[in-house]
Amino acid sequence: MLFPQRMLRLVWFVPEDRLVPSLEFLADSGAFHLSRRCLLGSSRDISAWQQAFDDRQQRTRERTRLQLLDRLPEQTLLHYGLGESTDASVLQAGVLTGEDGMFLWAGSDTPPDAVVAHLYDKIGAPLPDLPLDLDDSQWRLLFDTAASIGYIESWAVIDGWVPDSEVASLRGALKDEPACFVPAETSGLGMERVPVKFSRPAFLDGFGTLMGAFGVTGYRELDPSPFLAIGFIMIFGMMFADLGQGAVMFLAGLWLRGWSLHTDRDAWHRFSQVLIPIGLSAALFGILFGSCFSRDDLIGALWFRPMQQMLFYIGISLLIGMITISFGLILGLFNAWRMGRWRQVLWHHFGPLGLIFYLGLGGVGGGLVIAHEDLVMAGGVCCAISMAMVSVHQMYIMRGSRLFMRIFITMLELYDFILRFVIQTASFVRVVAFTVAHLALSEMLMMLTDSLGGHPWAAWSVFIVGNGLIIVVEGALVAIQVLRLHFFEFFTKFVTGEGQLFRPLTRGRERPI
């Protein structure tokens, strides 16, 4: 679940006259991803064939239109009657459309000579010849894959990728063919060329869709969707803590899930998979914080009330931020090891030096909070070592420059190195800010509702509409902020976003999985 499916490279040599049937076989299998461009052999320019095919299609459409509109049927299109008359006399008329416009005439059921001279002669020219006897769908498949097919003498080379779970069936079908399956790691191609196909549980599909807004995970990288699901559910619940409103979101998600399954609306089904757990999380934190339908006097706080213990809540949000960023840095080192990019991240801000510095910074902060001098000292040493190494590395990079410039740039680099971690940690204070904003908005709604106590219907109307607006409007704003925290403070540490999705070859056009 944490890694994309293992991929094997399929290279299949087929005679040119069997290229289209072979592509159709792979398209029908739904398990083959064709490389984006020709990697083996030489490419072939078939743009002249495509132009001839397009011309033939256009001529055929025009001829069909002319055959349909050449003569009017016995029961004419236009029939005028006056008064009680049952006279069957009619006005003969006709219409032709073409690339040059529309031609309309009256008084005859055949086009005038001018129209015939303009259109018939032009369309009556012989249809362009095509070199192969293929139907329209086969021609389109050939044109769609032209840039990816290589040619070696009289052989065409089909080159692409197959998931490990589908290899057995394809290998059996191609056992008598000149085809080979090679693991991606030994294929001779960079990992950035290998497509990614996830094997996620169904309940993660919605969060996988959200992850797509950031980018596609590399082939050897961890799938961030499970981590997004955990962080998104928890932080959304903290920022939108309300038992009643969370319960409404949960019930709405259940209804939406049933409706989407019944009507086969995949996008809404994925949305319901996000709405259900975040609704439960909001309801749970509503119990912990003592809020229900914007009121704080209906239930007691099982944990604490954020408005009354603001400093404690800020400390919790900063701790969540430090844990999230540290975990992201660790995952980044793991992905770098898996992708073979150790040299690229060794001196990077989010590499080993960044992790040492950030853990040291956390040690200093934690030691000051709990008054533990040894922890403060150890953290300070880690920070000093990492900062010194960043400085030495920057001085080495600029060894050909003047000393003043080297010192100046090194100080700027060190400033950026430190400030980046401090700002990203402080960014998690927005958890507190949006929680307070939610509680303040709820308080305003209750004040307005209580002021209408003498008008029960008005008070209930304001109460229901107000809670509905909070759920929709503020819920959307909180979701955006939670995504922002994950995208910029978490995923930037370990997701390159440079992968490509596995897109099975299909007749007509590709469709993503």
User: For residue 204, what are its two tokens?
Assistant: 């993660």
What per-residue string of b and e applies to 382-414 under the rule 16 or more CB within 10 Å gives b?
bbeebbeebbeebbeebeeeeeeebeeebeebe
Query: Using an 8 Å Cβ cutoff, are 247 and 285 in contact?
Result: no
Strand partners, 295: 292
pLDDT at 77 over 60: no
Distance CA 379, CA 366 (A): 9
- The pLDDT score that the predictor gives to residue 512 is 38
Question: What's this model's pTM, rounded to 2 decimal places?
Answer: 0.82
- The pLDDT score that the predictor gives to residue 19 is 94
State the helix-helix crossing angle for 225-239 and 266-289, rounded to 10 degrees.
50
Of residues 425 and 345, more confidently modeled: 425
Pairing state between β 195-196 and 500-501: parallel
**E-assigned strands of 345-418?**
none
Which of 128-142, 250-264, 285-299 has the lowest average pLDDT? 128-142
Query: Using an 8 Å Cβ cutoff, are 266 and 228 in contact?
Result: no
Residue 211: its H or E element:
helix 205-212
Q: What tens digit of pLDDT does each residue of 279-296 get?
A: 999 999 999 999 999 998
pLDDT at 141 over 70: yes
- The pLDDT score that the predictor gives to residue 115 is 58
Which residues lie closer than 8 Å to 322 by C-beta, 6 or more apart? 358, 362, 365, 425
Pairing state between β 179-183 and 7-15: antiparallel
The pLDDT of 331-340, averaged and rounded, is 90
State the helix-helix crossing angle for 243-263 and 456-469, rounded to 10 degrees.
60
**E-assigned strands of 276-330?**
none
pLDDT at 146 over 90: yes
What per-residue string of b and e applies to 75-109 under the rule 16 or more CB within 10 Å gives b?
eeeeeeeeeeeeeeeeeeebebebeeeebebeeee
- The pLDDT score that the predictor gives to residue 55 is 85
Instruction: Look up residue 88 and give its amino acid.
Output: A
Look-up of token digits 């213990």: 309
- The pLDDT score that the predictor gives to residue 162 is 96
Number of other residues whose CB lies within 10 A of the CB of residue 37: 11
Which of 80-84, 157-161, 249-253 has the lowest average pLDDT? 80-84
Q: What tens digit of pLDDT does each residue of 85-125 get?
A: 344 444 445 555 555 555 565 655 566 666 555 555 555 56
- The pLDDT score that the predictor gives to residue 338 is 87
- The pLDDT score that the predictor gives to residue 58 is 81
pLDDT at 407 over 90: yes
Percent of the chain scoring above 70 in pLDDT: 86
What per-residue string of b and e applies to 323-346 under the rule 16 or more CB within 10 Å gives b?
ebbbebbebbbebbeebebeeebe
Task: Tell me the Ramachandran region of residue 324: left when phi exceeds 0, alpha when psi lies from -120 to 50, beta otherwise.
Answer: alpha
User: Per-residue confidence at 67, pLDDT binned at 50, 70, 90?
Assistant: low
* DSSP 8-state secondary structure symbol assigned to residue 216: B
Distance CA 145, CA 14 (A): 15
**How long, in residues, is the chain?**
513
Q: How far is CA 190 from the centre of its chain?
A: 23
Average pLDDT for the chain: 87
- The pLDDT score that the predictor gives to residue 86 is 43
- The pLDDT score that the predictor gives to residue 469 is 94
Distance CA 361, CA 368 (A): 11
- The pLDDT score that the predictor gives to residue 125 is 61
- The pLDDT score that the predictor gives to residue 188 is 87
Query: Which of helix, strand or coil describes residue 499?
Result: coil
Q: What tens digit of pLDDT does each residue of 191-220 get?
A: 889 999 988 888 899 999 999 889 888 898
**Quick one: how many helices (H) and strands (E) in the chain?**
18, 9
The pLDDT of 347-354, averaged and rounded, is 92
Q: What tens digit of pLDDT does each residue of 463-510 get?
A: 999 999 999 999 999 999 999 999 999 999 999 888 899 999 998 644
Look-up of token digits 């300070």: 380
Q: Which residue in 498, 493, 494, 487 sits closest to 231, CA to CA?
A: 487
pLDDT at 425 over 80: yes
Query: Using an 8 Å Cβ cutoff, are 386 and 360 in contact?
Result: yes
Query: Using an 8 Å Cβ cutoff, are 278 and 250 in contact?
Result: no
Distance CA 56, CA 130 (A): 9
| Greatest pairwise CA separation for the chain in angstroms | 111
Of residues 120 and 311, more confidently modeled: 311
pLDDT at 321 over 80: yes
Of residues 233 and 297, more confidently modeled: 233
Which of 50-54, 229-233, 354-358 has the lowest average pLDDT? 50-54
